[in-house]
A and B are shown apart, each in its own frame.
Chain A
Amino acid sequence: MRWLRYGTDAVLVECASLAEMSAVRAAVVAAGLPDLAEVVPGARTVLIAARPGTKALEQARELVDEADLATVHDGEPREITLDVRYDGEDIDLVAETAGISADDVVALHTGATYTVAFTGFAPGFGYLTGLPEPLRQSRLDTPRTRVPAGAVAIAGEFTGVYPRSSPGGWRLLGHTEAVLFDSHADRPALLAPGDRVRFRSRS
């Protein structure tokens, strides 16, 4: 783990793995330090930003140094199930790449439990880890100019759902009617770091 200076009021904690990153994020968030402005998980990093003139970065460092990073202490994780219609444009491509049938793709994708590791790209877009190995596939060579809202997709070690229509290069498996982001809701983002997610096939 490395602590990299990030401007005058933030640090970037560089971790060895996604699991270590998740543990660091959870340890810092669980402590609820009042002077932290932002805790932003990334694929291998946690960005910790403090209110200027406070000791929050030093407190965060002390916390992480003392934390047991072998396990993620996220309290009671929220469990979310998303109903998906597996009619995505790339499902045959994904099946072919994996050397299995389209039905096997659905069985693998619905059989796993995922964890929201971090967000980015757009409000409410969560990068979900836990994707079974045969589904870990590269992005499309040419990204689509428009991916519809609710599209359920995969890329590399992640699966995710596009909260709104946008360009995108992930392989599309299907779509969900769930609202991923509503800025007026009590919980604006359906998926937040640490949440557990399952997909359920609905025909």
Chain B
Amino acid sequence: MSRALEIVTAGPLALVQDLGRPGHAHLGVPPSGALDVPAFRLANRLVGNPETAAGIETLLGGLTVNARASCTVAVTGPPVAVTVDGRPVGSHVPVHLTAGQTLAIGRPDAGLRCYLAVSGGLDIEPELGSRSRDVLSEIGPPPLEPGTVLPLGKPDGIPVGADTVTAPPAPRDLVVPVVLGPRDDWFGDAARQLTSPWTVTSESNRVGLRLDGSALERTSERDGAELPSEGVITGAIQVPPNGLPVVFLADHPTTGGYPVIAVVVPRALPALAQARPGTTIRFRPYA
């Protein structure tokens, strides 16, 4: 039998992801890809894969898989309980599975998204050069369900990454560096308004983090004004007329019609990918 992995339970949401399909925004296609990129890359390195190999992104754990062949796996993201046939093995380490063994990922105490890499990677037909599921435009493999059998590629690398350490737990309060603009002039004293605390709401998903707090106020001359549709990128903080910002994540639309007050610097995005509803965010405008 060919190498494969069977999904036994999928948890709240389990998606096939890789590093995404950037470069297609002009066709209306989002970049997509693993939201916590460093955690995803680490998982692949731990099992000897190139960092571009496809793995699984889970939401709040709950994923159980059965190995149909001997393989090496690793779970990264926030620290989380991992078991093989009920025996604890830990996260952030390579684990060997023999055919027939079952690996289960528990629910992380903090953070949202864990990553499972498997030696050889998930061997699924790419769409537009990527195997990532894009929840906005529904490109890529559908969300995983019990009974789904995922073929595995041929393992050909040596596991590396023994020098890496477990990720710190996701904090309840985040300070997020941002660059003001391009439309900060639509808001009175944008820098000051952005530094008030925001709370991540449960409406958040891979498209964006929806925040609650004191509504951002436009300048009087921009009140009620409309903006012609313009390009947006991951990390853009878009402000709809209700004044409550949305931070775009990897599955964001490629153009938007509301002003972008600031953009999150790329190194701060992994922490946002792990921010649970209720997390407090303070934006720190960066000169």
Do B28 and A119 touch (CB < 8 A)?
yes
Q: Kindly state whether residue B85 has any CB partner on chain A within 8 Å.
A: no
Check: B173 CB closer than 8 A to any chain A CB: no
Given A45-B231, A119-B28, A189-B28, decide whether A5 and B181 contact each other with a Cβ distance below 8 A. yes
Residue of B nearest to A120 (CB): B255
**Interface residue A128 (Cβ < 8 Å from any Cβ of B):** no
Q: Which one of A6-14, A99-107, A136-144 contacts B?
A: A6-14
Known: A44-B230, A47-B233, A192-B27. A8 touches B266 (CB 8 A): yes
How far is B141's CA from A200's CA once the two chains are assembled, in angstroms?
Answer: 36
Does chain B have a CB within 8 A of A46? Answer: yes
Report the count of interface residues on A (CB-CB < 8 A): 37
The reply to whether the CB of B213 lies closer than 8 angstroms to some CB of chain A is no
Residues A7 and B231 in contact, CB atoms below 8 Å apart: no
Contact between chains at B231 and A122 (CB < 8 Å): no
Cβ 8 A contact of B182, one of A5, A38, A183: A5
List B residues 226-248 near A (Cβ within 8 Å): 228-233, 235-236
**Which of B28, B179, B180, B260 gathers most chain A CB within 10 Å?**
B28
- Tell me what chain A mostly uses at the interface: helix, strand, loop, or mixed: strand
> Cα distance A123–B31 when bound, in Å?
12
Q: Determine the interface band of chain B, counting residues with CB < 8 A from chain A.
A: 35 or more
Contact B28 A12 (CB under 8 A): no
> Within the complex, what minimum Cβ distance (angstroms) separates A81 from chain B?
20
Q: In this assembly, does A174 line the interface, its C-beta being within 8 Å of a C-beta of chain B?
A: no
The answer to whether the Cβ of B215 comes within 8 Å of any Cβ in the partner chain is: no
- The verdict on B253 contacting chain A, using a C-beta distance below 8 Å, is yes
Q: Is the CB of B54 closer than 8 A to any CB of chain A? A: no
A12-B182, A119-B254 are known contacts. Are A46 and B27 too (CB-CB below 8 A)?
Answer: no
A10 touches B233 (CB 8 A): yes
Contact B182 A6 (CB under 8 A): yes
Q: A8-B179, A43-B229, A44-B230 are in contact. Are A121 and B28 (CB under 8 A)?
A: yes
Known: A37-B23, A122-B28, A188-B128. A42 touches B255 (CB 8 A): yes
Q: Which residues of B contact A (CB under 8 A)?
A: 22-29, 125, 127-128, 137, 139, 179-183, 228-233, 235-236, 253-256, 260, 263-266
Given contacts A122-B28, A123-B28, 14 further A-B contacts (CB under 8 A): A7-B235, A7-B266, A38-B26, A38-B231, A42-B255, A119-B26, A119-B254, A120-B253, A121-B253, A123-B24, A124-B27, A183-B128, A192-B26, A193-B26
- Contact surface of A with B, Cβ cutoff 8 Å: 4-10, 12, 37-47, 49, 52, 118-125, 127, 181, 183-184, 188-189, 192-193
